[in-house]
């Protein structure tokens, strides 16, 4: 790991690392972000591993500007107005994901929507323009620690877990972006943050809706904003029952499933995490009533994988 003062050379180097699947911490006007290529599921899995996050939450995808954002999402009329008014800046927009945009399933936790933001920081903007890939970037701290507002915070917390930390000085705002869901008819405030609600409502000319209780994670499996398969999940399966599809892990796969997808034949949890949501979707799309899921070790990324699977298996 190296902490580099942000300049033309270090930004070009960091952009190249992002394109190759590396992890780069960089300043934005809100907090320092830990970036990975949002189109590269393995890179995003490595990002989760570096943060030690026990759960897969959908990540915010950072782009240089609205033109880049348009590659990855369908802009509603409301979204255009909000982007026009607040980008670059501390507003994140949740929009319908463009099918051909190439955002990895792990980035959006399997959702059909994607959260996008064009940050207002010269280093972030230069990095995003140079990388020319969408950059998933949660705050650059270990899970459970506070968000970093200096490069030194990032180094203390993530040290050897990142390839490069770009030092652009202390961040100006220090709190996370406001998240607005503009994917539907009624724009909804998902998370208060850097841009005040009143400013957004002034642009819209109407009040933002509140997130409904259905979207609040109260009990496992109830998180409406997360993708849940229609099929029942049967966890820790060592054999296959008639009519089941199989989500396999490792080299020794039981036979008898109408359809099998192996998350990682070589027991690589990063590969398994990158494949998880796409595999669930594909098996679900076959219309099977149930998916048998082989045991997955609870270490490293296995914890987040098992959390997701338990939610999918919880009674609905």
Residues lying near ligand AMP in the complex (CB under 6 A) are found at 57-60, 94, 108, 111, 113-115, 138-139, 176, 179, 190-191, 225
- Rule CB under 5 A: choose which of 139, 149, 264, 275 binds Mg ion: 139
Nearer to ligand AMP, 144 or 205 (CB): 144
Nearer to Mg ion, 78 or 107 (CB): 107
Cβ proximity to Mg ion, 130 vs 226, nearer residue: 226
Nearer to ligand AMP, 46 or 248 (CB): 46
In the complex, what is the shortest distance from the CB of residue 55 to Mg ion, in angstroms, rounded to a whole number?
A: 12
Q: How far is the CB of 32 from ligand AMP (least distance, A)?
A: 11
CB of 297 to ligand AMP, least distance (A): 25
Q: Which of these segments, 67-75, 146-154, 273-281, 288-296, binds Mg ion (CB under 5 A)?
A: 146-154
Minimum gap (Å) between residue 55 Cβ and ligand AMP: 10
Burial 276-297 (b: 16+ CB within 10 A, else e): bbbbbeebbeeebebbbbbebe
Q: Which is nearer to Mg ion, 91 or 228 (CB)?
A: 91
* Smallest distance, Mg ion to C-beta of residue 53, A: 9
Residues that bind Mg ion (CB under 5 A): 139, 147
């Amino acid at each position: 790991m190296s902490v580099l003062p942000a300049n033309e050379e270090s930004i070009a180097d960091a952009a190249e690392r992002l394109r190759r699947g590396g992890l780069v911490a960089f300043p934005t006007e809100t907090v320092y972000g830990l970036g990975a290529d949002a189109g590269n599921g393995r890179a995003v899995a490595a990002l989760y591993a570096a943060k030690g996050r026990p759960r897969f939450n959908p990540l915010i995808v950072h782009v240089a500007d609205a033109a880049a954002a348009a590659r990855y999402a369908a802009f509603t009329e409301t979204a255009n107005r909000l982007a026009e008014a607040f980008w670059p800046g501390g507003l994140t927009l949740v929009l319908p994901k463009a099918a051909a945009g190439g955002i990895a399933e792990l980035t959006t936790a399997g959702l059909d929507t994607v959260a996008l933001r064009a940050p207002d920081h010269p280093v972030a903007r230069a990095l995003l323009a140079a990388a020319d890939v969408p950059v998933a970037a949660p705050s650059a701290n270990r899970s459970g620690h506070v968000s970093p507002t200096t490069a030194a915070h990032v180094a203390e917390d993530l040290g050897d877990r990142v390839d490069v930390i770009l030092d652009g000085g202390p961040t100006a705002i220090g709190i996370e972006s406001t998240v607005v869901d503009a994917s539907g008819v009624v724009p909804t405030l998902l998370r208060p943050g850097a841009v005040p609600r009143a400013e957004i409502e002034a642009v819209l000319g109407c009040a933002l809706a509140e997130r409904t209780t259905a979207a609040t994670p109260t009990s496992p499996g109830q998180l409406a904003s997360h993708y849940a398969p229609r099929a029942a999940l049967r966890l820790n399966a060592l054999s296959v029952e008639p009519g089941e599809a199989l989500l396999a892990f490792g080299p020794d796969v039981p036979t008898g499933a109408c359809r099998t997808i192996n998350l990682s034949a070589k027991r690589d949890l990063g590969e398994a995490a990158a494949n998880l949501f796409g595999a669930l979707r594909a098996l679900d799309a076959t219309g099977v009533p149930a998916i048998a899921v082989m045991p997955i070790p609870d270490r490293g990324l296995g914890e987040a994988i098992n959390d997701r699977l338990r939610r999918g298996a919880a009674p609905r």
